Amino acid sequence: MSFPLLLAVLLLVGICSPATGKVYGRCELAKILKASGMSGYRGVQLADWVCLAKWESDYNTNAENHNTDGSTDYGIFQINSRLWCRDGIIRSADGCGIPCSHHSRESPPGSLDVTSGTEPMEEEDLAGPGPRDVMPGLEPMAEDHEPDPYDLTSCLPL
Compute the distance between CA of residue 49 and CA of residue 63 in angstroms, rounded to an integer. Answer: 16
**26-38 pLDDT, tens per residue?**
999 999 999 999 9
Split at pLDDT 50, 70, 90, the class of 18 is very low
Give the domain range for residue 67. Answer: 3-155
Count structural domains, the chain.
Answer: 1
What is the full DSSP assignment across 110-152? GG--SSSSPPPPPHHHH-SS-HHHHSTTPPPPPTTSPPPTT--
Burial of 11 (0-12, 13-18, 19+ CB in 10 A): buried
Active site residues: 56, 73
CATH number at residue 110: 1.10.530.10
DSSP, res 86: B
pTM over 0.75: no
Of the two residues 56 and 106, the one the predictor is more confident about is 56
**110-144 pLDDT, tens per residue?**
332 222 333 444 444 444 444 444 444 545 544 45
